[in-house]
Copies of this chain bind each other. A is one copy, B any other.
Amino acid sequence: MSKNISLKKKIPVGILGATGSVGQKFVELLQDHPWFEIRALAASERSSDKTYAEAVHWFMKKPIPPDVEQMRVSACEPDLPCRLVFSGLDSSVAGEIEQRFAENGYVVVSNSKNHRMKGDVPLLVPEINSEHLSIIESQKFGDGVIVTNPNCSVIGLVIALKPLIDRFGLDAVNVVTLQALSGAGYPGVSGLDSLDNVIPYIGGEEDKVETEPLKIFGSFDGEKINNMQIKISAQCNRVPVSDGHVECVSVKLKQKARRDEVITAWNNFAGVPQKLELPMAPLQPIRYYDEKDYPQPRLLRDVDKGMAVSIGRLRECPLFDYKFVILSHNTIRGAAGGAILNAELMLHRGYLS
């Protein structure tokens, strides 16, 4: 059990964009959650007033949970029977809808990119920057707030880099991603484009990988977040994999580091969610594997509820100091699971009461 939390009854939550790719993952992960309970499923006009089973083209790897199958889908209007909403909305509409919910007193825990880089919105990774959460107190929404989590290709990278920054300092990062299809939402990439193919382009993704980490690693001075200065270069590719982003990373450190020191830094890494034993927190946020051909998506994406970051192949680099390979589950750690962890931290900090 998580420390210090004993709820009389579960907190009702709503899901915005409940029929989409991330929305479905929220539905899946919130089954049997010890603190949260789905009470509202909201989606576009087209879906509203249908049952969830009618409205959704479900494509998770297990069937729709029976208790949400017959729930009615609502419109994305701020009259849902809950205060906490998870947003898996498409970025084409998320900006405005999330703001409206916040203005109407809702706590919006969002996976969308729209508000991520705003000064008073935390871009939260509880293992890394839980102190950034306090910045929501400067938000201008009255009782409402907006909290965000990073892009699915950023999360594995920043978790892997965090112990290196803490221990050795970090100057530069080169990263080439091999990203799963589920990162593109549903229907996303056509089967005709993805079969027997690589698409070496994902719109807007490289910019996110090069900028979001600077804010995530930024220092919070009580008033604002001051970005960290690291030089990052990213190349992003779509590959025919269902779930699990692989990233080939090269890093230039500030201090010399032995190979075993780096591995120890990763394996020993733990953050606030581990100390608080938050329900969605991985037991061990980073796992280093010695196998020569690890980490592979098929084998390791689901480790520790899909919330752990797997790393392998650490070796010296002729150009940088070290190179290695990261794997993380893009729709769990990189989307819905990360957002739920954010909400758990918020509950713990008293922001949900």
Binding site for B on A (CB under 8 A): 21, 58-63, 172, 174, 176, 178, 181-182, 186-201, 210, 231-233, 235, 237, 239-242, 246, 248, 250, 292-300, 302-303, 312-313, 317-320, 323, 325
Partner of A302, one of B62, B174, B186, B233: B62
**Chain B residues with CB under 8 A of A240:** 191, 195-196, 239-241
Answer whether A62 and B299 are a contact pair too, CB < 8 Å, given A195-B196, A199-B293: yes
Contact A250 B233 (CB under 8 A): yes
Answer whether A232 and B318 are a contact pair too, CB < 8 Å, given A296-B199, A297-B198, A299-B63: yes
9 closest A-B pairs by beta carbon, nearest first, are: A191-B194, A187-B190, A176-B176, A201-B293, A235-B248, A197-B298, A189-B191, A233-B319, A200-B325
Roughly how many angstroms separate A176 CA and B201 CA in the complex, as a whole number? 15
Select the residue from A61, A195, A250, A320 with max chain B CB neighbours within 10 A: A195
**Chain B residues with CB under 8 A of A320:** 233
Contact A298 B61 (CB under 8 A): yes
Contact A298 B237 (CB under 8 A): no
CB distance from A262 to the nearest CB of B (A): 16
Partner of A192, one of B59, B174, B176: B59
**Chain B residues with CB under 8 A of A313:** 200-201, 235
Contact A200 B293 (CB under 8 A): yes
CB distance from A152 to the nearest CB of B (A): 14
CB distance from A301 to the nearest CB of B (A): 9
Answer whether A319 and B241 are a contact pair too, CB < 8 Å, given A61-B299, A298-B197, A300-B63: no
Roughly how many angstroms separate A84 CA and B55 CA in the complex, as a whole number? 43
Roughly how many angstroms separate A172 CA and B192 CA in the complex, as a whole number? 34
Select the residue from A198, A235, A317 with max chain B CB neighbours within 10 A: A198
Select the residue from A181, A191, A295, A300 with max chain B CB neighbours within 10 A: A191
CB distance from A277 to the nearest CB of B (A): 21
Nearest B-chain residue to A243, judged by Cβ = B196
CB distance from A244 to the nearest CB of B (A): 8
Nearest B-chain residue to A235, judged by Cβ = B248
Extra contacts besides A59-B193, A196-B241, A233-B250 (19): CB < 8 Å? A21-B192, A61-B298, A62-B299, A178-B198, A178-B237, A182-B192, A189-B190, A189-B192, A194-B194, A194-B195, A195-B240, A196-B242, A197-B298, A200-B294, A210-B318, A233-B323, A235-B248, A235-B325, A237-B248
